[in-house]
A and B are shown apart, each in its own frame.
Chain A
Amino acid sequence: MEPRNAAAEEELVVSRSYAAPRQLVFDAWSSGERLAQWWGPHGFSAPECVVEFRPQGKLEILMKGHGMEHWMRGRFDEIVQGERIVFTVRVEGLDQDIRTVVTFAEEAGKTTMTIRQTVPKNSMMARGQKQGWTEQLEKLAALL
């Protein structure tokens, strides 16, 4: 296997700890009814939320807010009970698939959920010399 080229992939990592048992946090993903309760984000609702909670099952969410509506559609790649959820989705209008890996770890009654999102090679974000322009962009942003 080729080593992953970090420079060609954008990775976003967000982590949060909850005072709740792991199974409860995991289950929040397991049906459309539950997912719609929190999918948001702020100012957005999820009036339609299709969750076929099994590998290759559909994950389709209509996000509505700020006068806009857009669908996010994809499939679950992997589900490991209580531990790990992997899905790949595409937001309508963006020409890229986004792969998300969610992991759950429980310690001393607290559950830490970690979201890792990668935007693969040849996507809009990764086009060109990504690292180069990110650095440049940061420098520019500092100057502006």
Chain B
Amino acid sequence: MRTDALSATFAALADPTRRKILAQLAKGEANVSELSKPFEISQPAISKHLKVLERAGLIVRGRDAQFRPCRLSPAPLEEANDWTVELRRSWEERLDRLGDYLADLQAKEKSHGTKKRRR
């Protein structure tokens, strides 16, 4: 199961600054100095947040040693969002199957009933 990856995603998302960073990156890639401007916090603090986001797979960082531009990596976000969607979907499918099962039971009951009446 992908539980650990999902936990990392949720832990990373639990912090409001990190969510703002993600929202910022949703507009396009940016480097640490560009990202630290709107937040009024130091670049090292931003870098720490970026490390958490990177470990959770929510962002990827460029190789350019000086600028290391960050960009959003949407897959874990989609997966996290999917978790509730997934839960709902599995219930919908389960309820479909229950419908089939109930129809089946009733059809059997009915055919038994008909036989009895004919006797």
Q: Mark the stretch among B42-50, B62-70, B92-100 that contacts chain A.
A: B92-100
Cross-interface CB contact of B26 among A24, A93, A95, A143, cutoff 8 Å: A143
Bound-state CA distance A68–B97 (Å) is 20
Chain B, interface size category, equals 35 or more
Chain B residues whose C-beta falls within 8 Å of the C-beta of A127 in the assembled complex: 10-11, 14
Q: A41-B89, A124-B6, A144-B26 are in contact. List 7 more A-B contacts (CB 8 A).
A: A14-B88, A18-B98, A28-B101, A42-B93, A127-B10, A129-B16, A143-B26
Interface of chain B: mostly helix, strand, loop or mixed: helix
Chain A, residues 102-121, CB within 8 Å of chain B (1/0): the string is: 00000000000101010000
- Chain B min CB distance to A141 (Å): 6
Chain A residues whose C-beta falls within 8 Å of the C-beta of B78 in the assembled complex: 141, 144
A55, CB-defined interface residue at 8 Å: no
- Chain B min CB distance to A129 (Å): 7
Chain A, interface size category, equals 35 or more
B40, CB-defined interface residue at 8 Å: no
Interface, chain B (partner A; CB < 8 A)? 1, 3, 6-7, 10-11, 13-16, 19, 22-23, 26-27, 72, 74, 77-78, 80-81, 83-84, 87-103, 105-106
Bound-state CA distance A140–B16 (Å) is 13
Bound-state CA distance A16–B93 (Å) is 11
Interface, chain A (partner B; CB < 8 A)? 10, 12, 14, 16, 18-20, 24-25, 28, 34, 37-42, 68, 70, 93-95, 113, 115, 117, 124-125, 127-129, 132-133, 136-137, 139-141, 143-144
Question: Could you list some 18 contacts between A and B, CB below 8 A?
Answer: A16-B95, A18-B99, A20-B102, A24-B102, A28-B102, A38-B94, A41-B91, A41-B94, A125-B10, A127-B14, A129-B16, A132-B19, A136-B22, A137-B80, A141-B77, A143-B23, A144-B74, A144-B77
